[in-house]
Structure 1
């Protein structure tokens, strides 16, 4: 949706897709792995690609890009002018920290969120050293309002989980701002994902939703997909619907456009 809103292309394909075309390499790909996180344990639990391992893919991508352009200067220009959208942390908090005693008995929420911010900083510095210069870093969602958490209280947001999300987001926003002075020639912005989604949960009718915390699918209360997902803020126990993202994305696209114009 962001790439489409910026007028780049409608779909950003996975870098590991077997159907990847040279033009995909030139105009942007996704290195993300669903369910991954900053914490290596998060990737192991989910059985997906850890964030630092995604950097290795990016390194291979640069080599491919260079072979396509045949011009190192053009390659550097593409890399430095691209916008790097980073979203990590939701699963680290919601799954790894809250569900794993190896983490929640060893670390307080303060020390764990500090580690998460440190991991983010290291990740961005690695990207910077590879030539990246424009970073749009997304904070976490209101994790206590995701159906997997809120359904415990009959649809009421779980405040302790939201409090941890807010704590991490505050620290992340500060660090992202600090990186602007730490990484010469770069521009980093923090994108608030917490407040826009919380607004849909708190005032669903204003935005055309009738089910703010009951998911359309894949939960004990909704084992069969609902007939109209666009009436729901959430698709399943952990993910907003396409309509929810379409509702909150325009200001985010505007923020990116204004920041990197």
Structure 2
């Protein structure tokens, strides 16, 4: 289940760059995301994916396409202002770029780097606001130290220093979301906690029907072949929760979005 499905809009949100995109997709919502990207330009370069500001350029092109479909700038503005912009950025900046790249971890302390990440987020939201967006659901990072890529090095125990950094960024991001509400007239921003719901699955897996809280179903060096029943695993691979994990944690998030933007 994704947010659009949970909100009753459509089951799949297609990629904006998909060659199979249809006019109705433009009218009802698309995804500008690029897997592995981040707020930091270095994150996108390392992964070879589309940087967040370049995704913003895609959104500008989307507005032009939307205008051509509606034939009415007022209707276009209405669609954009009533749309919910779900934003998730920061996981890869911390887990990949900061912790593994001397160009970042020798130049910045984790305090100054997370400040920089929040600043990048603020600039991104302001750009969207200036283009007509008014409703923002901004997701915090996952418990990065519990991802199998980190926890497997400790025999399945969460790597607490990585979780400390994730919590630090999330706290700063939540505060910034409150600032955005007073800074951007007529807008509504909410902070979506992704950290604690996933951490709960890791700490108490049996409660939700999981038997493997930190061992991934797929693609670990010791187990390159996917498991037979992914629904028993909290994580699909070393860096991503399983579909069942997301299905478990997303209903309260959907409810939060519905109540916030009703």
Q: Which residue of 1 aligns with 2:180?
A: 179
TM-superposed CA distance for 1:223, in Å, is 1.1
Deviations 1:65-120 (Å, cap 9, x if unpaired)?
00000000000000000000000000000000000000001100000000000000
Q: Which residue of 1 aligns with 2:241?
A: 240
The runs of at least 4 aligned residues of structure 1 exceeding 6 Å deviation read none
TM-superposed CA distance for 1:221, in Å, is 2.7
Counterparts of 1:1-261 in structure 2 under 5 Å? 1-261=2-262
Q: Alignment partner of 2:189: what SS?
A: strand
Q: Give me the whole-angstrom Cα distance separating, in 2, the residues matched to 1:248 and 1:45.
A: 30
Q: Give me the whole-angstrom Cα distance separating, in 2, the residues matched to 1:139 and 1:77.
A: 28
Structure 1 range deviating more: 216-225 or 203-212: 216-225
Q: Give me the whole-angstrom Cα distance separating, in 2, the residues matched to 1:16 and 1:208.
A: 37
TM-superposed CA distance for 1:121, in Å, is 0.1
Q: Give me the whole-angstrom Cα distance separating, in 1, the residues matched to 2:109 and 2:135.
A: 32
Q: Give me the whole-angstrom Cα distance separating, in 2, the residues matched to 1:169 and 1:237.
A: 21
Structure 2: give runs of 5+ residues left out of the alignment: none
Q: Alignment partner of 1:135: what SS?
A: strand
Number of corresponding residues: 261
Q: Give me the whole-angstrom Cα distance separating, in 1, the residues matched to 2:56 and 2:88.
A: 14
Q: Alignment partner of 2:190: what SS?
A: strand
Q: Give me the whole-angstrom Cα distance separating, in 2, the residues matched to 1:204 and 1:9.
A: 30
The TM-score with structure 1 as length reference comes to: 1.00
The TM-score with structure 2 as length reference comes to: 0.99
RMSD: 0.3
TM-superposed CA distance for 1:222, in Å, is 1.6
Q: Alignment partner of 2:49: what SS?
A: coil
Structure 1 range deviating more: 220-229 or 57-66: 220-229
